[in-house]
Amino acid sequence: MKKANLLSKALLSLWIVYNIFTMLVMPNIGAYFGRVSSRFITPYANTVGLNASWNFFSPDPAHTMYIHYMINFADSEGNPTKDPIEGYFPPEKNRPVTSTFRKRELYVMRFMVIDPKRLKVFMGPWLCRQYPGASSVDMEHVIETVPMLDQVVTHKDEIIKDLSQELQYVHESVSCTATPDEEAL
């Protein structure tokens, strides 16, 4: 009788621990730990209704965003007068941001990606003012993705930079000599 009572207490304790484990992992099954342990808990969680995803853990890290631009210098016939200037905004595109002003530049990138017309309306004329004598500006909004954790774990020998992808999101050209279009907004 004592052995049966002890066995039932042990099984009940294991079942309670398993339930608590399922309740902690299932809300964020898309995380790395959730994907690894899903084969052990998903069938049970689906059966008893513990399969709701709440995503209460922190989100994935943000992708690196920057604007790659080319400042062109040409005369009225279109002949180049100077070598083009290639640059990035923010200038330190892949370094950690520590100053408050540099953090604002990251928010500018988010602002620009919401509506692609903003490159032509805001960023292009601003770059034209930064480089007097420029004839045109070619810009593209670039997003460097952050690889998923399980992809990094699977490809341990590769550099994270090699696993990320560089996506050209929007490409715009702005003439620095033309008068701005008021209807562009």
- Model confidence at 180, in pLDDT bands (50, 70, 90)? low
Handedness of CA 126, 132, 135, 138 (dihedral sign): negative
Strands (E), 55-151: 64-72, 85-89, 136-144
pLDDT tens profile 2-39: 888 889 999 999 999 999 888 888 877 777 788 888 88
**Residue 179 scores a pLDDT above 80:** no
Specify the pLDDT at position 141.
Answer: 86
Instruction: Please state, in angstroms and rounded to a whole number, the distance separating the CA atoms of residues 138 and 82.
Output: 15
Domain boundaries defined on the chain: 2-48, 64-180
Pairing, β 166-175 against β 64-72: unpaired
pLDDT tens profile 72-106: 998 888 787 889 999 988 877 666 666 666 777 77
Instruction: Please state, in angstroms and rounded to a whole number, the distance separating the CA atoms of residues 45 and 91.
Output: 48
Centroid of chain to Cα 138: 23
Task: Give the pLDDT mean for 123-150.
Answer: 86
